[in-house]
């Protein structure tokens, strides 16, 4: 038996991929590196920080910046693997627990969200890190299914929540039906209960509607989700349709979920006037804390209070993620937790 753990279960660490000049961060690399260093220091207060670097010189730069930001060197592990970009959530290992208490790593394919961006190096990162011993003696299993970590949410008890088009997609998984994909996820991840959404999305998102930007399990009975209250907002219709779908979902026992709406921050635009994907559902759960992306918006504090109620035993720590959304993602998108 194998089980996909919930994010709130004990973790051994969080994996990040350090930005470099050949990523899309090149134009404001210093600002983004400073954010990564701050994030590493926050994670390092609670668990190990695993940082993927392109080469040894890059690793020494990451080590220097993170330690100067306050990361405990004893909680810092550096691995070497070339990368196209830094969205570790979508190409990092999907970690399972077996009934023998062992960790099993799943390496799914990553093709740049259906071929939108180059991903040949990113697709090989998990295998290279495993071959280099970064994940210890955990066994690595591969699958030719294209699956991005940000596309799936679980309650840790065999339920999976996802937006259909991020998996059932001819540009990701040609010739695979939803039934085919369910069969693969049942075999690989131990999923027994599927919750599929047909709606949901926020402006500026390149992923076609990753669930980690939209709706998140907070416990097996509770889902928090992005809600827009402005009918004139471009995201209103899709988020309202998603809300109706969430209300219709049932848990394995046939009960509705407790649904907790998260506010939407005001629109943030880039230099060309395009809207960026700011949202609060893209939080990261670590041991004893929740790291919440904020955007210098009045709704930041409201989101922080909501998560404080949902995770009363954890610190709610914030990180200004305005630099991240310039490239289409936020806090959860750049990180991948590893189980304890």
- Alpha-carbon distance 61 to 219, whole Å? 38
Q: Give me the pLDDT at residue 309, please.
A: 98
Region 2-339: CATH code: 3.75.10.10
Residue 98 β-bridge partners: 2
Q: Which two tokens stand for residue 296?
A: 């210098």
Q: Give me the pLDDT at residue 116, please.
A: 97
Q: Give me the pLDDT at residue 100, please.
A: 86
Mean pLDDT by runs of 10 across the 340 residues of the chain is 96 98 93 98 98 98 98 97 98 95 96 98 98 94 98 98 98 98 98 98 96 98 98 97 98 98 97 96 98 98 98 98 96 96
**How confident is the model over 269-301, as pLDDT tens digits?**
999 999 999 999 999 999 999 999 999 999 999
Name the residue among 41, 46, 40, 2 with its Cα closest to residue 285.
46
How do the domains of the chain map onto residue ranges? 2-339
Q: Give me the pLDDT at residue 101, please.
A: 83
Q: Give me the pLDDT at residue 304, please.
A: 98
- Alpha-carbon distance 83 to 19, whole Å? 9
Q: Which two tokens stand for residue 131?
A: 């071959």
Q: What is the 3-state secondary structure (H, E, C) of the chain?
A: CEECCCCCCCEEEEEEECCCCCCCCHHHHHHHHHHHHHHHHHHHCCCEEEEEECCHHHHHHHHHHHHHCCCCHHHEEEEECCCCCCCHHHHCCEEEEECCCCEEEEEEECCHHHHCCCCCCHHHHHHHHHHCCCCCCCEEEEEEEECCHHHCEECCCCEEEEEHHHCCCCCCCCCCCHHHHHHHHHHHHCCCEEEEECCCCCCCCCCCCCHHHCEEEEECCEEEEECCCCCCCCCHHHHHHHHHHHHHCECCCCCECEEEEECCCCCCECCCCCECCCCCCCCEEECCEEEEEECCCCHHHHHHHHHHHHCCCCEEEEEECHHHHCCCCCCHHHCEEEEC
Q: Give me the pLDDT at residue 340, please.
A: 84
């Amino acid at each position: 038996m194998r089980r996909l753990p919930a994010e709130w279960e004990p973790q051994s660490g969080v994996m990040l991929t350090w930005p470099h000049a050949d990523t899309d961060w090149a134009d404001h690399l210093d600002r983004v590196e400073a954010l990564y260093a701050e994030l590493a220091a926050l994670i390092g207060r609670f668990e190990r920080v695993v940082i993927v670097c392109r080469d040894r010189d890059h690793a020494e730069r990451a080590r220097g910046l993170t330690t100067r930001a306050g990361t405990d060197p004893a909680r810092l592990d550096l691995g070497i693997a070339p990368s196209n970009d830094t969205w570790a959530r979508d190409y990092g290992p999907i970690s399972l627990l077996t009934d023998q208490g062992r960790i099993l790593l799943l390496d799914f394919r990553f093709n740049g969200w259906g071929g939108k961006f180059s991903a040949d190096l990113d697709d090989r990162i998990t295998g290279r890190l495993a071959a280099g011993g970064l994940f210890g003696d955990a066994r690595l299993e591969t699958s030719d299914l294209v699956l991005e970590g940000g596309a799936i949410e679980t309650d840790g008890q065999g339920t999976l929540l996802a937006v259909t088009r991020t998996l059932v997609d001819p540009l990701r998984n040609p010739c695979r039906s939803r039934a085919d994909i369910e069969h693969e996820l049942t075999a690989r991840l131990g999923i027994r209960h599927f919750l599929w959404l047909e709606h949901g999305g926020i402006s500026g998102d390149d992923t076609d509607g990753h669930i980690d930007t939209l709706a998140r399990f907070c416990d097996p009975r509770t889902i928090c989700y992005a809600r827009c209250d402005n009918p004139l907002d471009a995201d209103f219709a899709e988020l309202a349709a998603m809300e109706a779908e969430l209300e219709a979902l049932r848990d394995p026992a046939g009960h509705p979920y407790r649904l907790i709406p998260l506010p939407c921050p005001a629109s943030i635009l880039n230099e060309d006037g395009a809207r960026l994907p700011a949202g609060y559902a893209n939080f990261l759960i670590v041991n004893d804390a929740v790291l919440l992306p904020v955007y210098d918006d009045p709704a930041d504090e409201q989101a922080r209070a909501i998560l404080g109620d949902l995770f009363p035993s954890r610190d709610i720590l914030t990180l200004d993620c305005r630099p991240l959304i310039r490239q289409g993602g936020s806090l959860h998108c750049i990180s991948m937790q590893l189980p304890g």
